[in-house]
Amino acid sequence: MQQTLTWFADRLTNNIVFGGFDENDALSGVVGITHSQAIKTRHNAFLWGMYVRPAARATGLSRRLLDAATQEALVHCRSIRLAVVATNQAAQRLYAAAGFRAWATDQGALMVNDVLYDEIMMRLDRA
């Protein structure tokens, strides 16, 4: 399913998105973060949409993007939450190295081509 331009504009307007660029100013990675607006959960931020192009992986860009997003979120929130596909071990290692800890598994959270995938729920709490 393709999203509309309006959907993307809303996503960029109502979230914080960080980008990382290569030496040719080409976008090599992105990460998005949003803050809950509900009164009872506004102490939480949610990390979403982390992606780094294969050519930029293992360069430190993923960690720099993650650090920028977490630093921004923890200014306003007490906890950052994310979900990572259980089969994505590299992402889980990145998040764990940044201080995130797993706290739950959402079984069958995603379905891609009729295959179910679990998601690991992780969180980082402000000290």
Domains of the chain in sequence order: 5-125 (3.40.630.30)
* pLDDT score recorded for residue 127: 80
Helix, strand or coil, per DSSP, at residue 54:
helix
pLDDT value at residue 1: 63
Average pLDDT over residues 22-49: 92
Handedness of CA 105, 111, 114, 115 (dihedral sign): negative
pLDDT in the model for residue 36: 85
- Highest averaged pLDDT of the listed ranges 8-17, 37-46, 104-113: 104-113
